[in-house]
A and B are shown apart, each in its own frame.
Chain A
C-alpha cells in the first residue's frame, strides 16, 4: 500500500456489487462513511461505530466485515458486496430477502442489512447449516425489534430454498 498522508485526500478504487467505483477519502475515513456519504449507498447502516452491533456488516472479498471498523483506504482493490446488491433486479428480492419478508424477520429494518450480509456470506460457504450455526451467525448482530426468532426461521427457510435452487438453477429467477 502506498504511504498515505493524514493531511491529504486519496482516491480509493474498489468494486461494489460488481461495479467499479472510486471515491475520494481521507486516510481516516471509515468504509461506512465512504459508502454512505461518498457513494450514496445508504443501505449500509451505522449503529454503534465500535464493532458490536453489526448493522454495518458488508462482505469484503467474500468475508463478512464490520465496515465501521474498516478504513476506506484499506478496501483499495477489494470486492465489496452490500445489501444493495442482494436483489435479483429492481423491485425483485433475492431468496434471503424474500424469506425475511415472509417471516416478518424485520421491523424497523435498521439492523437488517448487516444481518442479511452476514447470512448471505455464510450461506455461500455453508449451504446446509443447522439452526444452532445460524443462531451463532445471527448472534453476531444486535436487533432490538424482532426478538430474533423470525430471523432464525427466515435464515433456515432461505437456506433450504437456496439448496433447492442449486439443484434447479432455472427456478432461481422466481425466488
Chain B
C-alpha cells in the first residue's frame, strides 16, 4: 500500500466510492440524461482583452439547420442582474458582456442548438464587431492615473483600500534594531480539475422558478447570489449537484456565472439548456487565483525575533469583482502572522481590477499569496543577520503553552506544539543528512540549496470574515455576519437501515466512506450497512450558506456534525429500546448489530428492529422521544465570531501546522529544477482516514509543484491570453513528481467534535515558497518570483556565474512574456502594367478577393471600404479571421494608404501600409510598400520570428498576386519561388 502505515493511528479502509468509479459507472454531470427537447449551448467569447461591443450579427448562425437561438447580453438585460460581490461597488458583474468586453474569454453570445456540434457551428457563424480599447494587465499599472479604466462608473480601477493596525506597529518599527522588506509579485494559476464545468438548466414560467443542475462545489452562500442574479426568491432557484464531480480544488465555485447564464438562456428559449465547458474555455474563462503584489516589511532584533509586520497587499481580481471576491484577500486575515508570535501588525489591503479573467476560489485560497512573502522574509532576515534560517523560524514560533492563541489580527489558534513538530520533522525527516548532501554537492561545484517553510493551515472559514473588507461603521449598518453552519441528516427507513445525507458536496475526496464509518461506529453496525448520499438538492436537503466543499471543512466540521446527528438519533433509539427491554437507556450499548444491555448480553434487540420501530410501531415509542426516523443536526462553532469594531477577524476555526523543508539542485546548463528531497510535516489534529489524508497531502503537493515551477496563466501586455491549452498551461505529470516524505504530529482540535482539522490546502500554501527558498539558497538570491521555470533559473545561473554573488539587492530576471509587438517591413516589386491600370486593380473588390492571401470572399462596403474572411496559418496556429480594409489618402494613381484589421478566435491584428506606384520608365510600374502591423492574442504567442515571416509572406503574397494580376512582372516564377522559400522557412501556410 502507498500508506506509510506506522505514522497513522487508524487503518485506511477502502473507499465505497471506488468500485463504481473504477468501472466507468461514475455519474458526472455530462453522464446524466436530459429531458427530451433539451438544447445544447456553445458560447461565443471575446478574443479581445478590452473592447467596445459594437454589434452582434446572429443572422448567419440562425440560418443553420439545428440552431434554435442566439442569445446576447442585451437579450438577458431584463431578466438578470450582476453577481454581487461582498463589496458595494458600481461594477456590473454580469455573466455575459453587454456593451463592452473586459477580458479574453468573456462570453458575448450563447448559441443554442439541437446538439453540441451544431451549436459550435452556429457559434462560428456569429459575427461580432468590436472597437478595441487599450487594456491594462498589470495591477500596479492599473493604479496609474491615466490607466485605462475598466468600469467607467467607478472612475478608477481601485475597488477597495482598507488599512488596519493591530498592537503598536509604529512603536515597534521605530524602536526596532533592524528592518527589511520583500517585494513579491505572485503570479496567476488555477486548480484545473480534469472535469470542466457543466450546467443543465430549465425555467418554469408558471411558477417563475429555475431548476439548475451544475457541478457547483459551494459555498452555498452563492445560491443567494445566483437567485438574485436571476431575479427570483431563493425558494424559486432549485440548485442541484450531480452525484460525482471530477475534481474542483475551489474552481467549481466559478461555475456560478454560467449557471446564471444557462438558466436565463433556458428562460428565453423556453426549453431546457445544457452546457458542458471545454478545456479551452476552462483555461480562458473559468476561474483564476488572484495575482498579488505584496511589499512585506519586518521589524526585528539581532536574534531575528520579529516584533512587527507591515503588509502592503495589492490584490488583482481580474475584470470583474464577483462573489465571493475579494475573499481571497481576507481569508487569511487572522493568519497574517503565520506560525509566529508577532504582536504588532499593520496592513494595507487594496483591490484592483485589470483586463484578465475574474478570480475566485482556488485551492489554498489566499494562503500561497501570504506565505510566499512571509516565508521569503524569514529567510531574508536570517541571511541579513547571518543566522541559520531554521533558528529564525524556531525562535519566532508560537510557544506550545500559548494555545489557544489569539493572533494579533484576531484568529484563535486552537492547538499545536509547533516547536516539537518542527524538531520531529528535522530529526525524522533527516535534515542533517540533507545538509551533508548540500555540502557535498557544492564541493563538486553543483548548485544546491535548502529551503524551509513554517505555515499555519486555516480551515473551516468564518462566513463573516469577508465583511472585514467593509469599515466597522459599514459592518455595523449591515449587521454582524459570522459562523459556519454545517449540517447532516440521518434517516432510518422501515427496514431499519441507515442513510446519511450531507451538504459537503465532495469533489472526489471520499466523504461517503468516512461518514459511513463514523455513523456505523455510533450505531454499532457494519459500515457497509450505512448508505451515504452527497448530491445536494437545495429544494429538499438541509443546507446553509457554509455548505459545500471548500476551506478544508469536511473532517473538522461535516464529519463532526454527522457524528452529532447520529449520536442524537442513537440516544433516541436507546430510549426506545430501553422501554422494550425494561432497562435504562444509559445501560445499553450499540455493538455487533444489536442494542444490548451493558451487563447482560442476553437482553438485546436487533438494531434494525429498534431503528424501524418509529415507522411500524410508533405506539412503542415513549412519548417524550417523539419519533426516531430522521435527525438533522446543524453545528456552528461559537469561536467564529463576527469581526469586531477594531477589525479583529476570527477568519477560520481550525489551524493545522505545517513544517516543510527540501533540498533542490538547479542544473547549471539547462536551469531545470531537480527536487532532491522534500519533507512535509503536518499537524492536522485527529486523522479520520490516513489514506485520504495522504491523498490530500500528495495531491496538494503536486498542485503546488505545478504552481511553483510549471503553471502560469500568462497574459500579454495587450491582455492577450497566452496559455490557453494544456500544452501551454503545463500541469505536472508523474515524471515530474519527486519523492515526498510525509510526517505527522497530532494536536487534536478542542474546537471540533472529532478533534480533526482541515488538511487539504496546506501544501498549496507551504510548498511554492519552500521550493523558492531552496532555489534562493542555491543561487544566493534575495529576490525571486514564481514560477521557477528553467528559462528563468538558467538566466539566474548565468548571472550568478558572471558576477560574484553580491550582498545587496538584486532583482530576478522576469520571465519573458511574448505580448503585443509591432512588425515593420518594406518592399518593392515591378509589374508590366502602367500605374493607372494597377491603380484600378487596387480599387476592384474582385481583384482584391483574388489577391488577398487566404481570402474567402471580399465585400465592398464603399469604394474605399472592404471586408473579407481570411484563413491564415502561422506556425502551428491556423485560423479564420474577419478582415476589415480601408483605403485612404488616395493620390491616384501615385499612392494610397491601406489600413486593415483582422480578428478571430486565435488573435487579432491591425496595420497600416502605404503603397506607392511609380512608372518604371519602360511602361511598367514599380510598386513600393511600407507597413507597420501589430499582432495580439493567441497567435502572438508563436513568437517573433514566425510572425515576421508570416507578415512578409502575407504581404509579399498580396503584392505578388497583384503583380500577376496586373499582367505579370516578367518574373512571376521568381516571386513564387521566393514565396515558397519563405513559406518553407517559416511554416506559414497562406
Residues of B within 8 A of A42 (CB): 24, 26, 28, 30-31
Grouping DSSP codes into helix (H, G, I), strand (E, B) and loop, the B interface class, with mixed when no group exceeds half, is: loop
Among B1, B191, B697, B727: residue with most chain A CB under 10 A: B1
Q: Which of B24, B30, B725 contacts A41 (CB 8 A)?
A: B24
Q: Which listed residue (A47, A100, A144, A148) contacts B279, Cβ 8 A?
A: A47
Could you tell me if B31 and A109 are in contact, using CB atoms closer than 8 angstroms?
no
- For chain B residues 867-905, which have a beta carbon within 8 Å of chain A? none
Given A43-B25, A45-B28, A144-B249, A150 contacting B14 (CB threshold 8 A): no
B21 interface neighbour in A26, A102, A106, A152, Cβ under 8 Å: A106
- Is there a chain A Cβ closer than 8 Å to B862's Cβ? no
Is A104 located at the chain interface by the 8 A CB criterion? yes
Closest Cβ of chain B: how far from A137's Cβ, in Å?
8
Closest to B691 in A: A104
Q: Is A57 an interface residue (CB 8 A)?
A: no
Q: In terms of DSSP, what is the predominant structure of the interface of chain A?
A: loop
**B316 interface contact, C-beta 8 A:** no
Distance in Å: Cβ of B939 to nearest Cβ of chain A: 17
| B702 proximal to A (CB < 8 A) | yes
Chain-B contact segment, one of A69-77, A78-86, A161-169: A78-86
Task: Give bound CA distance, A154 to B273, whole Å.
Answer: 40
Q: Specify the chain A residue showing the minimal Cβ separation from B20.
A: A109
Q: A48 vs B730: C-alpha distance in the bound complex, in angstroms?
A: 13
A146 to B731, CA, bound (A): 13
Task: Tell whether, in the assembled complex, residue A100 and residue B195 are in contact, meaning their CB atoms are under 8 Å apart.
Answer: no
Are B15 and A104 touching (Cβ within 8 A)?
yes
A146 in contact with B279 (CB, 8 Å): no
Residue A141 interfacial (CB < 8 Å) = yes
Q: A53 to B729, alpha carbons, bound, how many Å?
A: 12
Contacts of B582 in A (CB 8 A): none
Residue on A nearest B246 in the bound complex, by CB: A110
Contact A106 B30 (CB under 8 A): no
Q: Does B734 contact A (CB under 8 A)?
A: yes
Interface string of B159-196 (1 = CB under 8 A from A): 00000000000000000000000000000000111111
A108–B702 CB distance below 8 A: no
Given A149-B2, A153-B1, A139-B192 contact (CB < 8 Å): no
Q: Is B12 an interface residue (CB 8 A)?
A: yes
Note all chain B residues with C-beta closer than 8 A to A48. Answer: 278-279, 725-726
Pairwise interchain contact B22-A52, C-beta atoms closer than 8 A: no
**Which residues of B have CB within 8 Å of A84?**
23-24
Please choose the segment from B324-332, B503-511, B520-528, B945-953 that sits at the chain A interface, where 4 or more of its residues have CB less than 8 A away.
B503-511
Contacts of A148 in B (CB 8 A): 698, 702, 733-734, 737
Distance in angstroms between the alpha carbons of A55 and B196 in the assembled complex: 12
Q: Are B15 and A47 in contact (CB under 8 A)?
A: no
Q: Which residues of B contact A152 (CB under 8 A)?
A: 734
| Proximity bits, A133-150, B CB within 8 Å = 1, else 0 | 001101111111111111
CA distance A140 to B735 in the complex (A): 9
Bound-complex Cα distance A136 to B733 (A):
9
Q: A110-B246, A142-B731 are in contact. Are A47 and B695 (CB under 8 A)?
A: no
CB of A103 within 8 A of chain B? yes
* A100, B22: Cβ atoms closer than 8 Å: yes
Contacts of A1-21 to chain B: CB distance below 8 A:
none
Enumerate chain A residues within 8 angstroms of B193, measured Cβ to Cβ: 108, 110, 144
Complex alpha-carbon distance, A113 and B194, angstroms: 12
A135 engages B734 (CB within 8 Å): yes
Given A43-B25, A49-B278, A103-B1, does the pair A108, B726 have CB atoms closer than 8 Å? no
Residues on A with beta carbons closer than 8 Å to the beta carbon of B245: 108
Is B766 an interface position by the 8 A CB rule? Answer: no
Q: Are B246 and A102 neighbours in the complex by a CB distance under 8 Å?
A: no
A101 touches which of B18, B279, B702, B727 (Cβ 8 Å): B18
Find the A residue at minimum CB distance from B27.
A42
**In contact, B279 and A108 (Cβ under 8 angstroms):** no
| Bound Cα distance from A82 to B2, whole angstroms | 26
Asked if B1 and A139 sit within 8 Å, CB to CB, the answer is no
| Residue of B21, B698, B733, B734 with highest tally of chain A CB at under 10 A | B734
Does chain B have a CB within 8 A of A151? yes
Please tell me if A29 contacts chain B, counting CB pairs below 8 Å: yes
* Contacting residues, chain B, for A104 (C-beta < 8 A): 2-3, 12, 15, 691-692, 694-695
Q: How far is the CB of B888 from chain A (nearest CB, A)?
A: 41
Pairs of residues from A and B, 7 with the lowest C-beta to C-beta distance, nearest first? A43-B24, A108-B508, A110-B246, A147-B698, A109-B21, A52-B726, A107-B508
Give residues in A with beta carbon < 8 Å to B: 26, 28-29, 33, 36, 41-50, 52-53, 55, 82-84, 86-87, 91, 93, 97, 100-113, 116, 135-136, 138-154
